[in-house]
Structure 1
Amino acid sequence: MTGMTSLWIGGAPLLLASTSRTRRALLESAGIPIETQSPGIDERAVEAAAMDLPPLDLARRLASEKSLAVSRAHPERIVLGADQVLDCGDKVFHKPVDRAAARRQLQALSGRTHRLHSAGALAKGGEIVAGFAVIAHLTMRALDDDAINLYLDLAGPEVLNSVGVYHYEGLGVHLFERVEGDHSTILGLPLLPLVAALRRLGYLAF
């Protein structure tokens, strides 16, 4: 290991089957070189076909479908797919389509504890070679309509890209009173099981 200048020893960078800036930033902060490519899958169609799966398994399925879609096009590369599923009570929530849907979702989560199921899947040669999934529990403050509207005004349309209608790494932190779970899990990519899998597969120097 003497003389090494890089943690990554896997040759070509990790190929992230996503265009998420948050996931990219998480990987780069961990010293993992990445390239990105959109998986081009219909997530709603995958969910519809797997509607009987519990939320954690649905997150695994979505992550796997993303990584496999990109891996088939780049079989020589190690590909990472990741996804999140949010459930509260007996309801699974999806990314809101507009501000009105975002408001309804925040009203439904207000004052309650919900679960974020974050999963990742590594693929190579069109096959899954490692997978992991972690759950975080988040308790949202009781929010009145004025607070919800102000938050949506301040946060802007980017919150529509979040399954929970919040960017916890930004203004979304103000919505919560208690959080149980690793920070990277909440952001949609559990880093500890990911780096453990990459280390086991021989892509990291230590």
Structure 2
Amino acid sequence: MPALWTASEKLLLASTSATRLGLLVGAGLSVETQSSNVDERAIEQAAQSEGLDPPALAARLAAEKALAVSSRHPGRIVLGADQVLACGSSVFHKVDDREAARRQLQALSGKSHALHSAGAIAIGGKVVESFVTTAILAMRPLTDEAIDLYLELAGPSVLHSVGVYQYEGLGVHLFDSVEGDHSTVLGLPLLPLLSALRRLGCLSL
């Protein structure tokens, strides 16, 4: 049987995200995962002092993750990815508990926000490819009762998502419209990634 992935070793994803892994496996790629263990908040603070906008921040986070794992495995093709949610002038982060999730959904209710998803490929401790795509999501107006019901139905898994919703699951009920690629919403832009891997000679298709 012909092989789609042609590199000598599997793609190394600098993340333990099940969603990102699922996207890559679904696209037929050979993948292994390893946590980057980077301090995302420290990277964000440094980026803010440099005046980076949300798309550039997403790119910086993806690059730092890729570089962290590439430094440990210099011979591997390493993929870092990250996503930044911006609503107006505010950047939102993952939350620690249900009450914080409730406040975040209240803040996003009835508004449109941007999801900036970035990827970076590092080889030998250098970023050789990087890309950022953006999706615009319009959340419908939500009552407090609707928010509480959603959080009850979705459970603690919402704390793993930057927007405290999981669009690929129950979170789809929260929106009126979405503009952008589905993989961008899920946090890993597949089309620019596949183009980059073709340029690197890793794909036969």
TM over 0.5: yes
Residue number among 16, 26, 29 corresponding to 2:13 in the alignment = 16
How far 1:118 sits from its partner (Å)?
A: 0.2
SS state at 2:41 partner: helix
How big is the alpha-carbon RMSD for the aligned residues of Structure 1 and Structure 2?
0.6
Listed as ranges, the matches of 1:180-199 within 5 Å are 180-199=179-198
Q: Does 1:36 align with 2:33?
A: yes
Deviation at 1:97, TM superposition (A): 1.5
Structure 1 residue 123 displacement after superposition: 0.2
| Per-residue CA distance 1:34-87 (angstroms, 9 max, x = gap) | 000000111011101111210000000000000000000000000000000000
| Secondary structure of 1:80 counterpart | strand
Other-structure match for 1:136:
135
Tell me how many residue pairs correspond in the alignment: 203
How far apart, in 1, do the equivalents of 2:196 and 2:13 lie? Answer: 15
State the 1:96 CA deviation.
Answer: 1.0
Runs of 4+ in 1 over 2 A off after TM superposition: none
Shift of 1:122: 0.1
SS in 2 for 1:50: helix
Amino acid at match of 1:195: L
Give identity over the alignment, percent.
Answer: 67
d(CA) in 2 for partners of 1:168, 1:190: 15
Match of 2:73 in 1: 74
Q: Distance in 2 between matches of 1:33 and 1:9?
A: 9
Measured after TM superposition, the shift of residue 98 of structure 1 is 1.0
Q: Deviations over 1:99-156 (max 9, x none)?
A: 1111010000000000000000000000001000000000001000000000001111
Matched to 1:5, the amino acid is P
The one-letter amino acid paired with 2:119 is G
**Unaligned runs of at least 5 residues, structure 2:** none
**What is the TM-score with the length of structure 1 in the denominator?**
0.97
**SS class of match (2:82):** strand
Q: CA deviation at 1:11?
A: 1.3
Residue equivalent to 2:45: 48
Which ranges of structure 1 fall in alignment gaps of 5 or more residues?
Answer: none
Partner residue in 2 for 1:148 = 147
What residue in structure 1 maps to residue 162 of structure 2?
163
Q: Which amino acid aligns with 2:60?
A: R
* TM-score, scaled to structure 2: 0.98
SS of alignment partner, residue 95 of structure 1:
coil
* SS, match of residue 132 in structure 1: strand
Amino acid at match of 1:97: D
Distance in 2 separating the partners of 1:188 and 1:117? 8
1:15 partner letter: L
Rounded Cα–Cα distance in structure 2 between residues aligned with 1:203 and 1:45: 33
| 1:86 is the counterpart of 2:85 | yes
